[in-house]
Amino acid sequence: TNNHVIDDADVLTVFLQDRRSFPATVVGRDQFTDVAVIKIDAVGLTKISFGSSADLRVGEWIVAIGNPGFSGGSTPLDYTVTVGIVSALGRPLQLLSRGLRQDEATRVNAAFAIEDFIQTDAVINPGNSGGPMVNLRGQVVGINSAIASESGFYQGYGFAIPIDLAYRVMEDLIEYGNVRRAWLG
């Protein structure tokens, strides 16, 4: 999921399509890539496969899955699936670094934000964040993360974190609880 989805949460609950729900715990989170890993204790879940965002091409069809809310965010549209194309790759929107600069505790580290978004015209609204972006082979190629909008709702520009980046971050979060980054100097 996204770090911004769980950032202010005191309690996390994962709801499944079969109406079961499970308490979730945070395995790790990374504000510099907006990736977080959460865990539930459940058996018999269907596993989804990962593709490679490096294989994506502009014009390729993708599917965005999420739970956007109605106006005001009060009632989610559970398990919404929208389709679109990859509009651009490698978009540096400065969304993460701008947010980090506003936070006193992370201002010094804002330059470390990694932004390399996949842009899509698939409908992504508040509530889609943390959901998968899937290619037509059913493989996760991104994590829905942001929109460019003056109204706060869909205006044709959605963005996802490439799965190749997210996967490397997730591996570190699972193994170490944080992302290990090299330093020079």
Report the catalytic residues: 4, 34, 129
Q: Which residues contact 13 (CB under 8 A, 6 or more apart)?
A: 21, 22, 23, 24
Distances (CA, A) of 13 to 16, 56, 101, 120, 131: 10, 32, 30, 28, 15
Distances (CA, A) of 85 to 65, 88, 104, 154, 155: 14, 9, 38, 15, 15
Cβ-based neighbour number of residue 60 at 10 Å: 14
Asked if residues 118 and 89 have their Cβ atoms less than 8 Å apart, the reply is: yes
Phi/psi region, residue 180 (left: phi>0; alpha: psi -120 to 50; beta: rest), is beta
- The DSSP H or E segment spanning 139 is strand 139-147
Could you give the CA distance from residue 138 to residue 49 in angstroms, rounded to a whole number? 7
Specify which residues 118 forms β-bridges with.
160
